Amino acid sequence: METWDAITSRRNVREFEDRPIADEDLERILEAGRRAPSSRNWQPWDFVVVTDRDQLTELAGVWRGGGHIAHSAATVVVVLPEVESADQRTRAAFDAGQATVQMMIAAADLGIGSGHSAVGDQDRAREILGFPEDRFAYIMIDFGHPADRPLRPIRRPDRRPLEEVVHRGRW
């Protein structure tokens, strides 16, 4: 897929075919996250990748908006360090967002769907995934082959108009 097609095709996919993602495709998605830019090249993230069906089902219970994780082929949980200052937390969150979308676009390039899920119950997430006390799960990204319809460029995305969003030269 062309880069532009990957960008315009990406959407939150919440229904997945019951088949795995090829190992090399999953590695590429993770590598896309690893290569993301970060403030001062801090790379605050760790990625916990889950492909076991029982574990995915448990993970789906961590947040009421994350039911689709149970049916994904793989879910990547972006884990960040607990930090002292609000400034550091903001920077880590920005960096995690960049890694997230980079993985999602890499997936779309391969025709693989992805979706976000927030993390509600940190204790439960820690039990399931085993990350240390000084870390927290920031976002869960589920991946799989879309069961609803293939990824195709979306002609009319549900977005504010460009003219409203963009201020040229001055607000």
Ligand X SMILES: Cc1cc2nc3c(=O)[nH]c(=O)nc-3n(C[C@H](O)[C@H](O)[C@H](O)COP(=O)(O)O)c2cc1C
Q: Find the residue with minimal CB distance to ligand X.
A: 65
The one among 9, 11, 77, 146 contacting ligand X by CB under 6 A: 11
CB 37 within 8 A of CB 71: no
Q: Does 12 bind ligand X (CB under 6 A)?
A: yes
Residues that bind ligand X (rule: CB under 6 A) add up to a total of 11
Smaller CB distance to ligand X: residue 22 or 37? 37
The residue range among 8-16, 48-56, 72-80, 84-92 that interacts with ligand X, by the rule CB under 6 A, is: 8-16
Distance in Å, CB of 44 to ligand X, minimum: 16
Applying the rule CB under 6 A, the residues between 54 and 93 that interact with ligand X are 63, 65-66
143 Cβ partners below 8 Å, 6+ apart? 21, 26, 29, 72, 73, 74, 75, 76, 107, 112, 113, 114
Distance in Å, CB of 144 to ligand X, minimum: 14
Torsion angle, CA of 86/87/89/92, rounded to 10 degrees?
A: 180
Q: Does 145 bind ligand X (CB under 6 A)?
A: no
Q: Does 138 bind ligand X (CB under 6 A)?
A: no
Applying CB under 6 A, the residues found at the interface with ligand X are: 11-12, 14, 63, 65-66, 115-118, 139
